[in-house]
Amino acid sequence: LLLPLLLLLLAPRVSGGLRWPRRRWPVPYRRFDYRPKTDPYCQARYTFCPTGSSIPVMKEEDVIEVYRLQAPVWEFKYGDLLGHLKIMHDAVGFKSSLTGKNYTMEWYELFQLGNCTFPHLRPGMDAPFWCNQGAACFYEGIDDAHWKANGTLVLVTTISGAMFNDMAQWVKYDNETGIYYETWTVRASPDKKSTVWFDSYECSKFILRTYQKLADLGAVFKKIQTNYTSIILFSGEPIYLGNETSIFGPQGNKTLAAAIRDFYSPFKPHQSVREFFVDIFKIIDHVFMNHQFYLFYNLEYWFLPMKSPYLKIIYEEVPLPVGSKASFGV
């Protein structure tokens, strides 16, 4: 049960009055009109999209192969270690028949997973400070060794150049409006039919949206099994708490503000082994003993009354979308 929290604590980071709950479940992911500038405080240990490029315009008559790409998270550093736990990262690959060029497209955190999942408690600032953005990355080439060695590289469909260009326009919209990474899926219980309170918004969801867009454009997908990783919290019905201003502002709830800061404190970047293990026990006390979790979603805070089994990593099948009869493809 502690493994997901341990992994998030070890993830790269920068060093540096209650209301009634909303009744619409899951809470819809909020889209924004523009992407805000990042604060200089937020520094990634690994550069986001270092070889990224713009998406090319394909000739409409081109035939483009689409590949499903999947590899263990942090495979470049830990090899297949997290693959044994089914903690996987997803991407999509393209190959142009006219030019022979390959391309990779993926969506991930600008400042690494730890920063997207937990905030920093900065001196002189009452509210937790979040370094959280996610974005699409497109670059030429497919690193066959990376995806094949410990993961998946498999053809899922073919599309026309015109469909690719339409998809590219959608990617631009999706990338400009869906800007925050959401690590957690929150459910009422392990039952597959249980209520989903909040849905995650991470790399696999971008790939699923991309596949669906291609299906909407007419792509026909092969009938192959496709599985994706989710980190799930289990909670009773969430309680809406408010936003940064209503909780931490001049007229805010000081008791609630202190409770939220206390909850997030053990998730800070650690400077010593002793400090790390002390904070692990604090996390156990909050989440497993007192059934507490504070979730930041859509720039708002929610209280999750946690319940057994508390959290779980699952690797479940999500079928590829079905295209129309008039679709272009295999």
Give residue 17's pLDDT band: very low, low, confident or very high (50, 70, 90): very low
Q: What are phi and psi of 38, to 5 degrees?
A: -85, 145
203 catalytic, yes or no? yes
In this predicted structure, what is the pLDDT of residue 13?
56
In this predicted structure, what is the pLDDT of residue 172?
96
137 catalytic, yes or no? no
In this predicted structure, what is the pLDDT of residue 274?
86
In this predicted structure, what is the pLDDT of residue 33?
93
In this predicted structure, what is the pLDDT of residue 18?
46
Catalytic residue among 42, 116, 137, 203: 203
Among 90-94, 130-134, 135-139, 144-148, which stretch is predicted with the lowest mean pLDDT?
144-148
Q: Taking 50 as the threshold, does the pLDDT of residue 87 lie above it?
A: yes
Q: Taking 90 as the threshold, does the pLDDT of residue 322 lie above it?
A: no
Q: Taking 70 as the threshold, does the pLDDT of residue 136 lie above it?
A: yes
In this predicted structure, what is the pLDDT of residue 9?
53
Q: What is the pLDDT of residues 61-76, one digit of tens each?
A: 999 999 999 999 877 7
Pick from 285, 297, 24, 306: which is nearest to 187 by CA?
306
In this predicted structure, what is the pLDDT of residue 162?
98
Give residue 90's pLDDT band: very low, low, confident or very high (50, 70, 90): very high
In this predicted structure, what is the pLDDT of residue 12?
54
In this predicted structure, what is the pLDDT of residue 45?
85
Residues linked to residue 239 through DSSP beta bridges, in sequence order? 303
- For the residues 299-314, what does the mean pLDDT come to? 97
- For the residues 285-294, what does the mean pLDDT come to? 96
Q: What is the pLDDT of residues 190-242, one digit of tens each?
A: 998 999 999 999 999 999 999 999 999 999 999 999 999 999 999 999 999 99
How much of the chain exceeds pLDDT 70, in percent?
Answer: 90
Give residue 24's pLDDT band: very low, low, confident or very high (50, 70, 90): confident
Domain ranges for the chain, please list them.
63-317
Q: What is the pLDDT of residues 142-169, one digit of tens each?
A: 999 889 888 899 999 999 999 999 999 9
Catalytic residue among 89, 116, 131, 286: 89
In this predicted structure, what is the pLDDT of residue 86?
86
Encode burial over 97-119: b for 16+ CB neighbours within 10 A, e otherwise: eeeeebbbbbbbbbbbbbbbbbb
- For the residues 292-305, what does the mean pLDDT come to? 98
Q: Taking 60 as the threshold, does the pLDDT of residue 329 lie above it?
A: no
In this predicted structure, what is the pLDDT of residue 15?
44
Among 37-46, 135-144, 289-298, which stretch is predicted with the lowest mean pLDDT?
37-46
Q: Taking 60 as the threshold, does the pLDDT of residue 14 lie above it?
A: no
